A and B are shown apart, each in its own frame.
Chain A
């Protein structure tokens, strides 16, 4: 709502990529650590082409359709076709723009782009792919704008562009004459400057990119002035909440007391929608009272008879068994269970909608706004071109905001009620009817002999993950064109195979996914399959090391595939003082993970003196993500990944009981609080080379392994079911 209506002068849009984007196919060297050590594992699909590569490929035709404008005060506006949910993307992008334009960072404003269907697959935020996919296009766009400014100044002064320099948004001639971007922008936009050669700066010339930089919106965030979706002032928009069924996907049969609820103070309207019964009121407090007072007869849901034990049994039954082996084969054979986990972003699912007979306007936190726009247009019976979808910066996501359910509900209520609405999910509904990471079951077997790991097999069964939010389309479009054979795999298989890989030379390595289709509200959760899959593998790695009589760090070092990986592991061991003396009940644990062209190691120290109340007291994280845009933002992401891992490994999960999660608030879904978080966290970023890798989800899997391994060593147990402390230690809210 703070969009300034100032006219923009230079609005630059690069119509087609000037430079080819090279998709990296398996550029790492796969030489084993030392010739006589590990048995090399051939590259897995994810080593050759990962999910990020697929998404970059899918987005490539429209990658450069970015809009940058410079106003006559020299302020730069950049429209970012991605979502910001706290991951620091707007800051990273502002840094890239400021760098290429040679203008101060505080002159750059980044706006989240409305849904733009013509961007096709280039407006989807996920898979830790934003920086990877935007790095070149953003720099090219800003470099093009700079070139036009310089050309306009050159024309004005009768000089050659090559003679001019730019300092802090001001073009400077050799004789000292200056012209600010603001004064040049009209000329830059209107003059025929011929075709300009545009080359982004060499990375060695970067002065801002790569330096620790605070969030561009930090001040707005600490003063409470940043507007989240429900902080917007859309004239006439009334608070709205939805009463939801007692089981997942239950339906409304009838409402018994509609008139009585309508008569309650502040209640403005009662509207039945697919997912429940919406109450529109003057305040959210009154909408909540109204929704609670409703007497609704419900139809059944889609998993009404299912509870955790049934789901676990189905997963177990679906996990392919591993071949029988002779008694002489030495092996580690284990199974793991991971519970459902809520995304639980602190800002609950929310949207504002103003649907009129001839047009609609929607505001919501959306990582997949093009798909949302199409679905909303269909639901309210308008052409897509009449539905404006504004993407709002949001209070967390972790995968949740790939889905647009709140926006769709708000649009339908607005249409049916004939007024604009501000729709908010209650926390209880957000946990019970929101999205969750699917529960998984794992069967892992590693065989070994003569100090070598001969085979490593991992069979994963997962409740089906719902990917119907546009990611599927993007990946399918790209996968079909790849010469890797992935095009024939199902979508979930493709996703699994392009993300999950082992960083170790463990001989013949196979990792497979089997999905159990249950109609529940699932969704990818920060690091998708990797948190559980790679987390479980890191536990097995520790157990293999013990069998082979090796220290967990030494063992990893001798089986990792590349020097880059070993450098990260060794740095963590050194910085974390691996092997130091600790009191009884305490232990260190280590985990390693490689994905998104990045790698990381995590070392934690846990105090499990009371195994029911373990606390990770200290953590050291080391990461190499290639080229780093903003080390400060990267560290924040790794810190968040660590907290996620501590939470879901030790205490946070959802119990499904007869078709509904029992948990309904943070007093029940035990996401870590300050008292559960380490008092000492040190994060080291290794200065990497080449293109930027992904980082938003990177921190989770290694930390899951580290926390589980530390817990195992501190307690002398072998944790197999996560979270390890998962009692129903609360009285569930009524359904």
Chain B
């Protein structure tokens, strides 16, 4: 069984897994990192959204072999100890989550967006394709705007 070494949330990890095992399952089933969620497995729902070398990606469609030597950040790695990321703070302020299942992915997508642009427009926010089946979109939009202000 090939072994793959990469960084997750600042720690170096090694997993033995077939090359083509989607990273999502290496994280969830082999490394017990269960913040990233399964919602479709084919890069549609975006519930698994995490960061690869600082950019949003979907580990449900990335073979674990392609993570080798790279840096993965999941929702668990976003806060600095007890200190939440400003985007998480904004999520609390707007009480965005309902069932919460999409929210790790939504938050990781928002963090990546705010990295790319400090002042996202409505069109930038519209481009986030993450599904929220509870329909919290308006609160997500408000929270992203509020986070942008916090981070300004």
Establish whether residues A345 and B99, one from each chain, have CB atoms under 8 Å apart when the complex forms.
yes
Establish whether residues A214 and B99, one from each chain, have CB atoms under 8 Å apart when the complex forms.
no
Select which of B36, B45, B103, B141 is within 8 A of A427 by beta carbon: B45
Interface residues of A in 653-683 (CB under 8 A from B): 665-667, 671-675, 677-681
Establish whether residues B92 and A219, one from each chain, have CB atoms under 8 Å apart when the complex forms.
yes
Q: Please name all residues of chain B whose beta carbon is closer than 8 Å to the beta carbon of A259 when the two chains form the complex.
A: none
In the assembled complex, the Cα of A346 lies from the Cα of B38 at a distance in Å of 9
| Most central of B26, B32, B126, B135 by chain A CB within 10 Å | B135
Establish whether residues B101 and A677, one from each chain, have CB atoms under 8 Å apart when the complex forms.
no
In the assembled complex, the Cα of A598 lies from the Cα of B36 at a distance in Å of 38
Select which of B44, B100, B126, B133 is within 8 A of A674 by beta carbon: B126
Main SS class of interface, A: loop
Establish whether residues B32 and A233, one from each chain, have CB atoms under 8 Å apart when the complex forms.
yes
Closest to B127 in A: A675
In the assembled complex, the Cα of A357 lies from the Cα of B85 at a distance in Å of 48
The smallest C-beta distance from A176 to any residue of chain B, in angstroms, reads: 35
Establish whether residues A283 and B101, one from each chain, have CB atoms under 8 Å apart when the complex forms.
no
Establish whether residues A222 and B37, one from each chain, have CB atoms under 8 Å apart when the complex forms.
no
Known contacts A283-B30, A346-B47; A396/B133 CB under 8 A: yes
A-B contact count (CB 8 A): 192
Q: A228 near B: Cβ within 8 Å? A: yes
Closest to A212 in B: B95
Establish whether residues B41 and A427, one from each chain, have CB atoms under 8 Å apart when the complex forms.
yes
Establish whether residues B136 and A640, one from each chain, have CB atoms under 8 Å apart when the complex forms.
yes
Q: A348 near B: Cβ within 8 Å? A: yes
**Chain B count of residues within 8 A CB distance of the other chain:** 62
Establish whether residues B29 and A284, one from each chain, have CB atoms under 8 Å apart when the complex forms.
yes
Select which of A224, A636, A681 is within 8 A of B98 by beta carbon: A636
Interface residues of B in 71-115 (CB under 8 A from A): 74-76, 78-79, 84, 88, 91-92, 95-104, 107
Establish whether residues B99 and A396, one from each chain, have CB atoms under 8 Å apart when the complex forms.
yes
The smallest C-beta distance from B127 to any residue of chain A, in angstroms, reads: 7
Establish whether residues B40 and A665, one from each chain, have CB atoms under 8 Å apart when the complex forms.
yes
Known contacts A224-B75, A282-B29, A346-B45; A677/B133 CB under 8 A: no
Q: Please name all residues of chain A whose beta carbon is closer than 8 Å to the beta carbon of B25 when the two chains form the complex.
A: 239, 283-286
Pick the 8 closest A-B CB pairs, nearest first: A643-B135, A224-B35, A86-B99, A395-B101, A221-B100, A224-B75, A677-B137, A86-B98
Task: Name A residues whose Cβ lies closer than 8 Å to a Cβ of B.
Answer: 85-88, 214-215, 217-228, 230-231, 233, 239, 265-266, 282-286, 288, 344-348, 394-398, 424, 426-427, 632, 636, 639-644, 647, 665-667, 671-675, 677-681
Other A-B contacts than A215-B97, A397-B99, A673-B137, 11 sampled, CB-CB below 8 A, are A87-B98, A215-B95, A222-B107, A223-B84, A224-B34, A230-B38, A283-B28, A346-B47, A346-B132, A647-B135, A675-B129
Q: List 12 A-B contacts (CB under 8 A).
A: A86-B101, A214-B92, A222-B88, A223-B84, A224-B35, A226-B100, A346-B101, A347-B37, A427-B42, A647-B135, A674-B128, A679-B138
